[in-house]
Amino acid sequence: MFKKTLFTIALLFSTAVTCCAQQARNVLFIGNSYTQVNNLPAMVAAIAESMGDRMTYQSNTPGGCTFSQHCTNQSMQLIRSGEWDAVVLQEQSQLPSFPQSQVETEVFPYAKRLVDSIYANNPCCEPMFYMTWGRKNGDGQNAAEFPVLGTYEGMDSMLCERYTYMAQTNDASLCPVGRVWHYLRDNNSDIELYQADGSHPSVAGTYAAACAFYVLLFHRNPEMITYNAGLPESTASAIRMAAHDVVYASLAQWLRPVPESSLNVTETADRTVTLVSTSVNADSLIWLFGDGTDTQTSASQTTQEHTYPAPGSYRVSLVASRHCMADTATITIDIESDSSVVAIQHCPGEPIDIALYPNPATETLNIIAQTSGSALLEVISSNGTALWHKTIDLSESVSIPVADWPSGIYIVRLVTSSGTLTKRAVVKH
């Protein structure tokens, strides 16, 4: 059995985050010393503050802690205790690089258990695996039994492969810190990413991780970051460029799959139309038939028959959703007076923006779009329950009483003929 090296590193600093921001994220970090050293969460928060954003956080990072240990320690309580926007998961630094049979027994089941717990607590939360890096000169402790670990390249390739697999099989995002380090080793070898032990990150190494996490959490260009973590500007700038080229330039590659809605008409008979969903990455579907009626189904129910009450032009929308993310496809169906379908037109478009105020709300949540047309508006609780559902006039403000709702985070979803918009509202008593 391969051996793990345990480390206990003291926190070097922490930064309080108090300012208001353009975006706000509440993040839980679960890991060990690779997350703890140089206080990675505090550094991500400092970067966010420098960009006008805000990240609040908690962490559980005992030295050498594994996913299996996190399944039985304080981490499970922390997962259940907060309305997290994201939960970061970092395995012990060597374990994911070990032989496949050992990883399948000691890593993958516990990664799944953690992600399942995250989604069970809050279906809107984003699980995010923290891909770490190969040791500076490989893992000599275990290379005799598994030779690929004898070099940085070999160990790093194993970590990349296993973290990618965990993200893909658990419907999670992946922060490719190891890939950013690889880029810097190839292109900026003068930047020392490691501490003297050849394993833990230097301040520059943690800064590289923090820039990558900022991109994944806030979806913003790291080249605009002004916070340097005390590094020389030339060093910090090179690290930000690496985070841009590896993470930001291909952001969709690292994010969990988003739903993509697709809608077609296959058959018509009189005023009855057969609609077929070819949507992907969806759990549920909302069918808006354009005549004031709608229905919600699971994504596996891909076909709907609908009979229209009279001739006319109907804008039909299909909302495909997954983990509080949504996408909409829209078509127009024209039915002549003899009940024949004469035109089917696909109608792509962009979602309309809305304002929520006050946010947090205590008594009433007001919603305004300041545009014309109608839309389906719904409010969903953190456990996925639809609390409010109504077709609204976009030119008028909407007031929703929330005094009796529990404090917490709610998803406000607006479905229009041209797209879907999802926003987050907070109720606080």
- Is pLDDT of 11 > 50? no
Confidence at 167, pLDDT banded by 50, 70, 90: very high
The candidate with the shortest Cα–Cα distance to 226, out of 94, 406, 46, is 46
How many residues in total does the chain contain?
429
Confidence at 369, pLDDT banded by 50, 70, 90: confident
Q: In the prediction, which pLDDT does 7 show?
A: 38
Return mean pLDDT, the chain: 88
Residue matched to tokens 């006319």: 312
- Is pLDDT of 138 > 50? yes
Confidence at 341, pLDDT banded by 50, 70, 90: low
**Distance in angstroms (rounded) separating the CA atoms of residues 39 and 228:** 15
Domains and CATH numbers, the chain: 24-254 (3.40.50.1110), 263-346 (2.60.40.10), 355-427 (2.60.40.3080)
Which two three-digit tokens encode residue 244?
A: 């841009």
Q: In the prediction, which pLDDT does 115 show?
A: 98
- Per-residue pLDDT of 21-60, as tens digits, reads 368 999 999 999 999 999 999 999 999 999 999 999 999 9
Q: In the prediction, which pLDDT does 2 show?
A: 54
Q: What percent of the chain clears pLDDT 70, i.e. is strictly above it?
A: 89
Q: What is the pTM of this model?
A: 0.76
Cα distances (Å, whole numbers) of residue 53 to 13, 19, 26, 48, 236: 20, 8, 11, 5, 19
The answer to whether the beta carbons of residues 228 and 55 sit under 8 Å apart is no
The residue-averaged pLDDT of 377-388 equals 76
